[in-house]
Structures are given as C-alpha cells and as structure tokens.
Amino acid sequence: MRPKSNMQLIQKQQCICVRVKFTLIYDYLDKKNTCRVDTSGHHLHGVYARKHISGDSKQKFTERVKDDPYITPKKMTTGISSSTGRIREAARKIDPILSNQDRVKYELNVARSALGIHKSSNFLEEFQKIQREYEGYITYAEVASKESFIIVFTPPGIGFHHLPFSTQPIITDVTYKAVSSDQKYLCSSVIFVPELDKSIVFFQAIIGGLHASNFAQYFIQLFQQIKITKQRFLGMIMDFSSAQRLGFVHAFNYYFNNSANGSGSLEQMNEALGFLKGSYMHWMQKCPRIIL
C-alpha cells in the first residue's frame, strides 16, 4: 500500500503492516488510557535500495550541470570535466544512485530541462563525427558554458598565406538561426580572391551568443590562425554592432598590442577602429530611416 503523502497524514495513519501478537505489561498510572510501546524486530527481506535521489543531491547535481551544461553522461559518471578535461567528483559521489550511466543520462536531461538548456548532444556529436572523419577541419573548441561557447572550423588544407589579406578586406557576418539549438549563431569570414573571381569562406565558428566576449574570441582565433600582420591586413568589414566592434578592438589589442586583457590606450583603440569598416548594406538600410 502506498504511504501517506505528507507529515500530517503520516502521523494520523495507522500501522497496517504489523500482525504480531504480543503480551503488553504496563503500569496503570493516573487513570490514563494511553501508553507508549517500544518494540524491536527484524524484516524478512533485505534493505530496499532507493530509487530516487534526495533533494540535496538533486540540487548539487543541478549545480554541476549548470557549471558544465554539455557534459556527456559518460564523463559525468566517471567525473571528468568536458571543458577542461580535469578530474572532478564522480556522479556516484553526489548520490550512490548515480552509479549507472543510464540513470545519469536521465538525470542530465531532467536537470537541463529545469535549467532551460535545450538538448544539444546530437549537435555536438555531429561535430565530433566531422572531426574524426576530416582531420584538421575543427581547429579550436571551447565549451565552458552556455554563453562561453565557440567551435572554430576552417576548410582542410587551405593555405592562408595565399589569400590576399593585404589587398582585399575580410568580410565577417553572423547568420541568425543557422543553428536551431540553444540560440547559437554561425559567424563566417569571407574574402574575395581575384584569381578565382569569387569570394571564398575561409574561417567560421559557432558561437554561443551575440556577446562582445564571443566575438573577441572569434577574432583572436582568426588572427592567430592566419598569422596576420598589420602590414598584410587591409581591414575588416562587418555590421554596425557594438558587440562585434568591442570584440574586434579587444582582439586587436590582445593580438597586435600584446594586451593580456584586451584593453588599450585611446590611440590604440583608434588604430584598431581604423581597420574596421561598417557594412555598406547595413548603412543603406539605416540611412532612409535617419533622413525621414
């Protein structure tokens, strides 16, 4: 029979399991008709294992998922961080019930749903499959949190030193809703190659949000991977976005001016903005509104 659901009902319910006859010896005092019986006995079955994790364990597990939202059930079970690769507390240390990988997978889905994190394991698995099949396609990945998320990929075998960075500007744009899960965006950089008479995509990344920090990481990786110099860099064309602009300036100071935190003087900021141009189409769309 199912037990009562709250403490008030539990206190009122009568024991229906005990069917043992016994002799009760007591002292009758002050004409009271109630007494307390302390008994001891043993069960004929073993100890039942719990099937549900406790409230404290569930809260601790949810905090782990919040810190590492895209961790796999296997890494959660063994206690390995998906972002740093360091050894952390295994799931069974949080609660013994979480020793089973299938149960950990179930609790991960429950915790992600409670935190509003959409399931993206298939999304990440596709990139892992591509990485195995096409070596060198994914050049950088950082999945620290839902917001701090970037996966950089470039065409395998592309020779950056052959691209005309000194005579052609780099055009960078963000494609909205290119990735349906978790509000991620596709950021792409293209450049026109006169010999081919066409523009080619040479650098792309999936970013976790339209924040200046994500764009800064994008441009830092772009500068580092193409090993560009100021003499070979004509400039960058992109939308009039404050987040993109701040991210570009941060990356420029970090890469060219050796600024550890991306900050710089007013002169250095003006130098960085000198390499940055706004999107002409974006400007044309805004001008009529300003004139009217």
141 and 265 in a common domain: yes
DSSP code string of 199-256: EEEEEEEEESSS-HHHHHHHHHHHHHHHT--GGG---EEE---HHHHHHHHHHHHHHH
69 and 172 in a common domain: no
Q: One digit per residue, pLDDT tens: the chain, 292 residues?
A: 455 556 676 666 655 555 666 676 666 556 566 666 666 666 666 666 677 888 888 899 999 888 888 788 888 888 888 767 778 888 889 988 888 888 998 898 888 888 877 655 555 666 677 777 777 788 888 775 666 788 898 887 788 888 999 999 999 999 876 666 567 889 999 999 999 899 999 999 999 888 899 999 999 999 999 999 999 999 999 876 889 999 999 999 999 998 888 888 889 988 998 998 876 555 555 555 444 3
Domain ends where: 46, 81, 115?
Answer: 115
97 and 130 in a common domain: no
The answer to whether position 48 is within a domain reads: no
191 and 60 in a common domain: no
pLDDT at 292: 39
pLDDT at 290: 43
87, β-bridge pairs: 80
Q: Is residue 278 within 8 Å of residue 245, measured between CB atoms?
A: no
245 and 127 in a common domain: yes
Q: Which domain holds residue 67?
A: 55-115
Task: Give me the long-range contacts of 56-64 (CB less than 8 A, separation at least 24).
Answer: 57/94, 57/95, 57/97, 57/98, 58/107, 60/94, 61/91, 61/94, 61/95, 61/98, 61/107, 61/111, 62/111, 62/114, 62/115, 64/88, 64/89, 64/94
Domain ends where: 96, 115, 134?
Answer: 115
Question: 233-243 burial, b for 16+ CB within 10 Å, e for fewer?
Answer: beebbbeebeb
213 and 94 in a common domain: no
212 and 89 in a common domain: no
pLDDT at 217: 93
The answer to whether position 7 is within a domain reads: no
222 and 111 in a common domain: no
253 and 208 in a common domain: yes
The tally of domains found in the chain comes to 2
131 and 105 in a common domain: no
pLDDT at 133: 75
270 and 135 in a common domain: yes
